[in-house]
Amino acid sequence: MVSRRLFARAAVAAGALAFAAGTLVSAPVYAAKPLKIGFSMALTGGLAGAGKAALIAMEIWRADVNKKGGLLGRPVEFVYYDDATQPAKVPPIYTKLLNVDKVDLVVSSYGTNEIAPAMPIVMRKKLVFPSLFGLAVNDEFKYNRYFQIMPAGPEPKTDWSKGFFELALEQNPKPKTVAIVSADAEFALNAAAGARKNAKAAGFIVVYDKTFPPSTTDFSPIVRAIEAEKPDLVYVASYPPHSVGMVKAAREVGLKAKMFGGGMVGLQFAAIQKNLGPQLNNIVNYDFWVPEPTLNFPGVKEFLAKYQEAAKGKGVDPLGHYLPPYAYAYLQVLEEAVNATKSLDQGKLAAYMHKTTFKTVVGNVKFGSNGEWATSRVLMVQFRDVKPNDMAQFAGPGKRIVLYPKAWKSGDIVYPFNQ
Amino acid sequence: MFRNRGDVVFWIVLGAVLLAGFGVTQTIANEYYYTAIYAILQATIMAVAWNILGGFTGYVNFGSAAFFAIGAYTAVALDKWLGLPMPFLIAASAAVCGLMGLGVGYLTLRLKGVYFAIATLAMAIVLETLINNWDYVGAAKGVYILTPEKVPFFSSYIQLLFMVMLALTLGSIAISRYLNASRIGRGLAAIRDDEVAAECAGVPTLRLKLISTTLMGAMMGVAGAPYPFFVTFVDPISAFNLFVAVNSIAMPMIGGTAHWIGPVIGALLVGGAQEVITVTVSSELNVLIVGIMLVLFITLAPQGIVGLVQKWMKRRKR
């Protein structure tokens, strides 16, 4: 006969077994060890605003992918360090990621200066390297596992301004002269060099071609000097503080050019858009994504809703149209490659990334042989009907009309600029 | 070379550190340690160099980043032009920056104290503007340097850079130590204490100041020469980074400026802390920590760590 004590012990043991079995059955999908993605990011220093926004977007991707069961059945973890927008900090960070943290995959920081120092380290380990907004970095390294998400096209330096000059050629009366002005710094000089090439190829006469120091704050003398040459087109390659200064000076001076804009960084950010308000009207400038119906890619609105919620109170771009969708997309590319190849084999991933057209929140992405987009999608958009002191107006369509490329066109140009 | 037993011990330690460094490269493959230590060694050379003028001679130089950047850009230009091997690039950078230092030395004829400090800062801005407009070295766009995948004797390029930097650091420390204990060092100390009195006492002040600024410039140039091969992309903003200048001043101040070992201790301590904090807390905290340490040491221990230790030892003897 079974004693009461024995029965109680058996019951406890059975209960424990059942609990253990139940735990095993209902255990989270992630029994496997996490899959680590490593990167450095500009979270402080000059590019911190953009870097923090990129990180928010990347964290949204991580949450989304983990909700779907992770990658290869493993939960995704980020290992990242702040590079403080200092190139010298990048090599130690990537060597630590690879040698100490033993990450499975790496992606880049934001911006050319922070991407380039990681290249030799990544190349030595033969890793795929999705990168975020580097301008023509691979022109020097020629690394066949480099994949850059900014839609600057196979020849980034010239593709950047191609749309501006192609639009100008279509106008009537046809413009003849152009002024090119740029900040004396990395991106702006490259963009201006491309603009110079495109202008000459299109047969425009360059009547003004000068640079200004990045520390410039008073742009009126520059705009007056440009105005003295009476150019039909004014192509500006500048960083955010200069872009604001140039737009304000152009309005103060009453610039009479027929097209004004081109390569001004900053006019894509909601805070600057609100600050400049109607002064932006009719400016034709580059952009990468705007909330026009032609660019309503699957998932982009849902992503932006999550981003805008997460960005509240963090001092980053509240609308997040410029960089964040691409920060999400460069991880989507990696996600699809890993899922499709069911592997972390870097050779297989690279081969897949070269041959595939990826469906992302920024549309279809196909990489060319140099790791840049196979076809440029640098948009030329025109600000229209902008009202003062209203940031919300930029969240919807109708304020930045897509003029170029034709495949994404959402309206016609208002020409000339200063009418 | 060997004036006393201390000299023998010093050179033995130096040789042992160099050999140990080489031994480590042959046994440890983890590249992180080499990149992290490279940054600390670079900071050490800069600190030691700054201290020769700032600590031994009493002339504050705010333009350290300019010497460092010109060293880097000399290496870039010669690498691009002639493709010279690393030792020649380092020698050339030392020569160019040494000459620059000589020029700065002549400034001391007319400028002293805060005026000299401002002049060195202005020099950095002028040189940055020049580099910004020199297309051959990439101007404001920056320039890429491609490093070889394989190097003899080492399993990776960063190990070679680490060994180069270690040798340069030890060389700089040896020069600094020699200066500190030599007639030149005593003359520099006299200039620091009272330049007019030193001149009256027969100290050849101009000659000594020229030696001091030339050595300082050459050593900072030497620290900058391998930098392009470390980061592979150099642009004026990062090469002329103010943080380089701030670190060069903060490290000797924290370690102690009067003794040759002061900047070495300061650089190892602050540089090491910075590398650890970068990968544990935040890169931005580096600046804060350096700032706080600087304020604390200037107010509470103006003689730096070396001064604190010396005080403590004196008390113990009593």
State yes or no: pLDDT of A413 exceeds 80. Answer: yes
**Out of A5-9, A151-155, B99-103, B242-246, least confident range:** A5-9
Angle of CA points B291, B296, B299, to nearest 5°: 120
Is residue A16 assigned to a domain? no
Reported as type and span, the H/E element at residue A38 is: strand A35-41
Two tokens, residue B31: 């590249």
What residues of A are in contact with residue B242 (Cβ under 8 Å)?
Answer: none
Are the CB atoms for A186 and A113 separated by under 8 Å? yes
| Res. B232: pLDDT tops 90 | no
Say whether both A285 and A303 belong to one domain. Answer: no
**Which residue from B190, B254, B203 is spatially nearest to B56, judged by alpha carbons?**
B190
Over 90: is that where the pLDDT of B140 sits?
Answer: no
Q: Are A187 and A195 in contact (CB under 8 A)?
A: no
Of B141 and B170, the one with more pLDDT: B170
Residue A210 lies in a domain: yes
Are the Cβ atoms of A87 and B158 closer than 8 angstroms? no
Planar angle of CA B248, B253, B257, nearest 5 degrees: 100
- Confidence category of residue B2, pLDDT binned at 50, 70, 90: low
Nearest-CA distance B272 → chain A (Å): 13
Q: Is the Cβ of B227 closer than 8 Å to some Cβ of chain A?
A: yes
Cα A388–chain centre separation: 27
Q: Name the residue facing A140 among B144, B156, B234 (closest C-beta).
A: B144
Cβ B212 vs Cβ B57: under 8 Å: yes
Query: A287 in a domain, yes or no?
Result: yes
Q: Could you tell me if A199 and A317 lie in one domain?
A: no
The minimum CA-CA distance between A368 and chain B, rounded to whole Å, is 22
Rounded Cα–Cα distance for residues A320 and A307 (Å): 7
For CA atoms A298, A301, A304, A309, give the dihedral sign: negative
Residue B306 identity (one-letter amino acid)? V
Structure tokens at A280: 């932006």
**Tell me, which fold does domain B5-317 have in CATH?**
ABC transporter involved in vitamin B12 uptake, BtuC (1.10.3470)
Q: How far apart are CA A231 and CA A228, in angstroms?
A: 8
Mean pLDDT lowest among B88-92, B208-212, B280-284 = B280-284
- Contact between A95 and B284 using a beta-carbon 8 Å cutoff: no
Of the candidates A88, A92, A184, the beta carbon closest to that of B238 is on: A88
| Structure confidence at residue A375 (pLDDT) | 95
Average of pLDDT values for A325-350?
Answer: 97
CA distances in angstroms from A115 to A79, A375, A384, listed in the order given: 17, 22, 35
Q: Is A4 contained in some domain? A: no
Q: Based on the domain organization, do A283 and A303 belong to the same domain? A: no
Report the number of distinct structural domains present in chain A: 2
* The pair of three-digit structure tokens given for residue A161, joined into one six-digit string: 């301004």
| Cis peptide preceding A405, ω within 30 of 0 | yes
The pLDDT tens digits for B25-53 are: 999 888 889 999 999 999 999 999 999 99
Q: Which helix (H) or strand (E) holds A140?
A: helix A138-141
- DSSP for A270-286, written as a single string: HHHHHHHGGGGTT-EEE
Would you place residue B233 in the very low, low, confident or very high pLDDT band (cuts 50, 70, 90)?
confident
Of A45, A93, A117, the CB nearest to B233: A117
Q: Give me the residue from A44, A91, A186 closest to B231, CB to CB.
A: A91
Contacts of B153 (CB under 8 A, 6+ apart): B160
Upper half-sphere CA count for residue A14 (Cβ side, 13 Å): 6
C-alpha A138/C-alpha B151 separation (Å) is 23
pLDDT band at A110, cuts 50/70/90? Answer: very high
Q: How far apart are CA B108 and CA B119, in angstroms?
A: 10
Lowest mean pLDDT among A175-189, A286-300, B70-84, B303-317: B303-317
The question of ipTM being above 0.90 is answered as no
| Whole-structure pTM value | 0.83
Query: Mean of the pLDDT values across residues B257-282?
Result: 87
Which sequence spans correspond to the domains of chain B?
A: 5-317
Q: Given this model, what pLDDT does residue A4 score?
A: 52
DSSP state of B53: I
pLDDT at residue number A3: 54
How does pLDDT run across A393-407, given as a tens digit for each residue?
A: 999 999 999 999 999
Residue A92 and residue B279: Cβ atoms within 8 Å? yes
Q: What is the pLDDT of residue B258?
A: 83
Residues A49 and A84 placed together within one structural domain of the fold: yes
SS3 of residue A106 by DSSP? strand
Q: What is the pLDDT of residue B153?
A: 84
Phi, psi dihedrals of residue A155, rounded to the nearest 5°:
-120, 80
Phi then psi for B295, rounded to 5 degrees?
Answer: -65, -45
Q: Are residues A224 and A194 part of one domain?
A: yes
Task: Give me the domain span that covers residue A401.
Answer: 156-294+379-408
Prior bond to A416 cis, omega within 30? yes
A264 DSSP β-pair partners = A238
Residues A166 and A122 in one domain: no
To the nearest whole angstrom, how far is the Cα of B173 from the nearest Cα of chain A? 23
Q: Give yes or no: residues A48 and A180 share one domain.
A: no
- Beta carbons of A82 and B283 less than 8 Å apart: yes
Q: How buried is B294 (Cβ within 10 angstroms: 0-12 exposed, 13-18 middle, 19+ buried)? A: middle
Whole-angstrom distance, CA of residue B128 vs CA of residue B313: 45
pLDDT tens for residues A274-287? 999 999 999 999 99
Residues A98 and A160 in one domain: no
- At A183-231, the pLDDT tens digits run 988 888 989 999 999 999 999 999 999 999 888 999 999 999 999 999 9
Give the mean pLDDT of A101-127: 93
Distance in angstroms (rounded) separating the CA atoms of residues A266 and A278: 16
Mean pLDDT within A238-267? 94
Q: Name chain A contacts of B237, Cβ cutoff 8 Å.
A: 113, 185
Q: Judge whether A41 is closer than 8 Å to chain B, CB to CB.
A: no
Looking at the structure, tell me whether residues A240 and A357 fall in a common domain. Answer: no
User: Do both A188 and A230 map to the same domain?
Assistant: yes
Closest chain A C-alpha to B22 CA, distance in angstroms: 20
pLDDT confidence tier of residue A12, bands split at 50, 70 and 90: very low
- CATH number of the domain encompassing residue A392: 3.40.50.2300
**Domain co-membership, A286 together with A339:** no
Pick the closest to residue A394 from A264, A278, A259 (CA basis): A278
Asked whether residue A107 is domain-assigned, the answer is yes
Pick the residue with more confidence: A4 or A378?
A378
- The residues facing A177 across adjacent strands are A205
Contact B32 A81 (CB under 8 A): no
Of A10-14, B104-108, B242-246, B265-269, minimum mean pLDDT range? A10-14
